[in-house]
Amino acid sequence: MLPIIKKFIIKIERQIVKILLSFRKDVVSFDPPPSGMNKETVLKKVAEVPFWWHSIDFGYGIVTPGHQGGIKHPTGTKNLLGNLQLPDDLRGKSVLDIGAWDGFFSFEAEKRGASRVLAIDNFYRDKLEHTGSQGFEIAKEILKSNVEFKKASVYDLSPEKFGMFDIVLFLGVFYHLRHPLLALEKVFSVTKEMLIMETHYDPYHDSKTPLAVFYENAEINNDPTTFWGFNKSCLLAVLRSVGFKNPEVIYRYADRIILKAYK
């Protein structure tokens, strides 16, 4: 298939997903949050954060205005959760959430019974228009959460500094990295059982040959921090090359892909 035709198909797929999300009506909670905080205080705290990436349900029918999936498509975060195939029962499991941002997936792991959840983010977005860990800290307070947070890069990871984790979430980070294989080696070093990884990928070179495209000048979504587009074969190959076993694609649409791999 010609690249120009593939690009047109990918564009159509992306628009279809946005349309479907706009019609999706998620059930939201009208009960008080776990902290018991009153509605007026919750609304005030949500308004203190100028930029929310995740759509987080705080009760009273209040959901943060997350940008994931597009601000006009507030179910984008929950839609991604459904596609991750995260186990419903995480009792006794430890979870690491790399690039946690506002912490939606960290808090979800805790809700599913994880015994320890660590969220990390280096907040490179501090240099842009975003707000560091402010959203995470407010969400943690409202949800009365025990999720741990550390400001750290994926390159900082090691068993000695961070420990080992049964499940590692590596969502929306890989394509932003200048040194992707080094990052995967670090992720592998702290993974005990399973990695779930979501990333931008290159769907235009869908061959058995592992290929990667480097974006020098913000070619993808006008984002200067998007550097890499690996094709499916290359993603599976690099996961195997750092030591992961049985990597598999569990979901993909347009130019996004989700993979699982095992230790």
Query: Backbone phi, then psi, for 19, in 5-degree steps?
Result: -65, -45
Domains and CATH numbers, the chain: 80-262 (3.40.50.150)
Residue 157: pLDDT band by 50, 70, 90 thresholds?
very high
Distance CA 112, CA 190 (A): 21
Q: What average pLDDT does this structure show over 117-145?
A: 85
Cα torsion through 215, 217, 218, 224, rounded to 10? 100
3 state DSSP class of 45: helix
d(Cα 193, Cα 204) in Å, to the nearest integer?
32
CB 235 within 8 A of CB 257: yes
Asked if residue 124 has pLDDT above 80, the reply is no
Sign of CA dihedral 46, 47, 50, 54: positive
How confident is residue 54, by pLDDT bands cut at 50, 70 and 90? very high
**How confident is residue 16, by pLDDT bands cut at 50, 70 and 90?**
confident
Q: What is the pTM of this model?
A: 0.90
pLDDT at 126 over 60: no
Which of the four pLDDT bands, split at 50, 70 and 90, describes residue 198? very high
Contacts of 239 (CB under 8 A, 6+ apart): 184, 195, 197, 247, 259, 261
- Residue 5 confidence (pLDDT): 73
Task: Give the total residue count for the chain.
Answer: 263
- Residue-averaged pLDDT of the chain: 91
Cα–Cα distance measured from residue 93 to residue 131, given in angstroms and rounded to the nearest whole number: 30
Residues 6+ apart with CB under 8 A from 126: 132
State residue 241's pLDDT score.
98
Share of the chain above pLDDT 70, in %: 90
- pLDDT score at 230: 97
Question: Average pLDDT for residues 183-189, to the nearest whole number?
Answer: 98
Amino acid at 185: E
Helix 39-47 with 134-143: angle, nearest 10 deg: 170
Which pLDDT band, with edges at 50, 70 and 90, does 255 fall under? very high
CB 140 within 8 A of CB 156: no
Q: At what angle do helices 76-84 and 104-111 cross, to 10 degrees?
A: 50
Residue indicated by tokens 């347009």: 254
pLDDT value of residue 148: 97
Burial annotation 118-130 (CB, 10 A radius, 16+ → b, else e): bbbbbbeeeeeeb
Statement: residue 127 has pLDDT above 60: no
Element spanning 250, H or E: strand 245-253
